[in-house]
Amino acid sequence: MKQQEHYYSLVVKKDCPTCALIEPVIKQLSETFNDSLAIYVQDDPSFPENVITKIDDSSLEFSYKQNIEIVPTLIRSDNGLDNQARIFGWNKSEWQELTGIENLGANLVDSKPGCGSKTQDPGMNEILTLRFDTDRLRARKIELAESEDIMEACFERGWSDGLPVVPPTLLRVTRMLSGTDLSADEIIGSVPPDNKPCTVEKIAINAVMAGCKPDHLQVVIAALKAALQDEFCMHGLLCTTYFSAPVMIVNGPITQQIGMNSGVNALGQGNRANATIGRALQLIIRNVGGGLPGGIDRATLGTPGKYTFCFSEDESDTEWPSLAMDRGYNREDSVINLFAGSGVQPFVDQLSRQPESLVKNLGNSLRSVANTRSFGMADAMIVISPEHRRVLRQDNWTKADLKKALYDELITPGADIIRGKGGIAEGMPEKFKDMLLNKFRDDGLHIVGAGGKAGMFSAIISGWLASGDKGSQLVSQQIN
């Protein structure tokens, strides 16, 4: 049997007190193992001065490929096999055991922690990935002429939604990919309308252009998964001449982790996560799926929500179930919900102090979703403010109480809303004349909490006319 041979690799840097401490050890190892030891120096190739043969690893190639996080690191390989054992920092007994040298570092302290490898410097991982993991990114590279303005080039190539985008350089895309453990070439799904396969890398590219941070990427991936669910009907939502676009509501711990806004101005501007996550999904639909305005997107008027419409729910009231909980998830789950909605319809009630009054007033406003004579077609979402929730809470009303009361309030005789009634051509078909109709289907009214604590204002987000089983339904996707 062939005698087992040991090969050693030692990674150090001069700018490390522990590496300086073990200079005598490095010299002893060099004299003992000769050609069986390779010493890699991350910063100053003259270090250590008492050793002649060293390898300049200032490019950090070896350190990156060996996943060195702390220096000094000593690696022992047996018969040429990689990384059979490794230790880092200085621990006298461990180094003696790994090397088999009983008196190694006999005059040194028993132990001393190491320092961070230069591969761990801020931003360095992405730089090294680009430098040494060249096959990770597969998307087509675009070369710009020296005279081209990089921002204008993004406009000219049709990558923009009309606003400036962040140029998706290799470094930025690589940094964005650090926000997920998924492989860059993993396909998440086929994006309508062209049904083009979309990899994690392509999601990252569009997240960069939208202005996302790496810790937003997992939410963007989940948003795309939700949009590709058959029940959401993303292709139909693109093709419609109606106003609607994906409205994204995020629940769970992730909202705090990435700093989403569920309070003052939650549906407005000013919060990076809210703004860019919603925008990233729209850019993916545009740039990967080919959903271009004037092309497959035939909206008569559209909506500003086609830039971005994303916010988080206020979950500070533990007695109030979140939208995700309504959908069967737990409060501890991070979830994104997608609703095919249009613009924001204000609801003002500054005088109601009892839930019954608030419900009657809110019911009147809900009748105008899509059209006061359109029943059982468009879903709706109520964004109820803290002040209006306070009115409910004072009389011990729950979210379920509010929803049931609204359904009851909105029951209407078909004879009142049929076509031609009162000289108005629009309305329900004649066959509904003798029926009692409800404004919304059984699962067509959704309620979320958000907004600032001052102001008795809530909002209604009208749904797409093609809501329900034959159109678009609210969908949810857990964020992993």
Render pLDDT for 173-185 as a digit per residue (tens, 0 to 9). 999 999 999 999 9
Residue 138 resides in a domain: no
Co-location of 206 and 57 in the same domain = no
When divided into structural domains, the chain yields a total of 2
Co-location of 342 and 413 in the same domain = yes
Instruction: Pull the structure tokens for residue 6.
Output: 């040991």
pLDDT of residue 5: 79
Q: Of the residues 120, 137, 172, which one is the last residue of a structural domain? A: 120
Beta bridge partners of 190: 197
Residue 127 resides in a domain: no
Co-location of 106 and 161 in the same domain = no
Strands 111-112 and 445-449: unpaired
pLDDT of residue 136: 78
Name the residue type at position 346. Answer: P
Name the residue type at position 408. Answer: D
pLDDT of residue 130: 86
Q: DSSP assignment of 338-371, as one string?
A: EEEEEEEEEEE-SS--SHHHHHHHHHHHHTTSS-
Co-location of 371 and 462 in the same domain = yes
Co-location of 89 and 211 in the same domain = no
Residue 128 resides in a domain: no
Residue 167 CA to residue 163 CA, distance in Å, equals: 12
Co-location of 246 and 323 in the same domain = yes
Residue 281 CA to residue 437 CA, distance in Å, equals: 36
Measure CA of the first residue to CA of the last residue in the chain; give whole Å.
49
Co-location of 78 and 181 in the same domain = no
Vertex 220 angle, CA 159 and 155, to 5°: 10
Co-location of 100 and 178 in the same domain = no
Could you tell me which of 261, 262, 283 has the C-alpha nearest to residue 272? 261
Co-location of 273 and 335 in the same domain = yes
Co-location of 110 and 249 in the same domain = no
Residue 216 resides in a domain: yes
CATH assignment at residue 116: 3.40.30.10
Residue 139 resides in a domain: no
pLDDT of residue 1: 36
CB 33 within 8 A of CB 27: no
CB 71 within 8 A of CB 21: no
Domain that holds residue 38: 6-120
Residue 72 CA to residue 15 CA, distance in Å, equals: 11
DSSP H/E element including 287: helix 272-287
pLDDT of residue 80: 55
Residue 334 resides in a domain: yes
Residue 71 resides in a domain: yes
Residue 335 CA to residue 250 CA, distance in Å, equals: 6
Residue 129 resides in a domain: no
Q: Of the residues 120, 138, 171, which one is the last residue of a structural domain? A: 120
Residue 455 CA to residue 116 CA, distance in Å, equals: 51
Q: Which residues of the chain have pLDDT under 50?
A: 1-3
pLDDT of residue 2: 43
Co-location of 266 and 352 in the same domain = yes
Co-location of 61 and 170 in the same domain = no
Q: Of the residues 101, 120, 139, which one is the last residue of a structural domain? A: 120
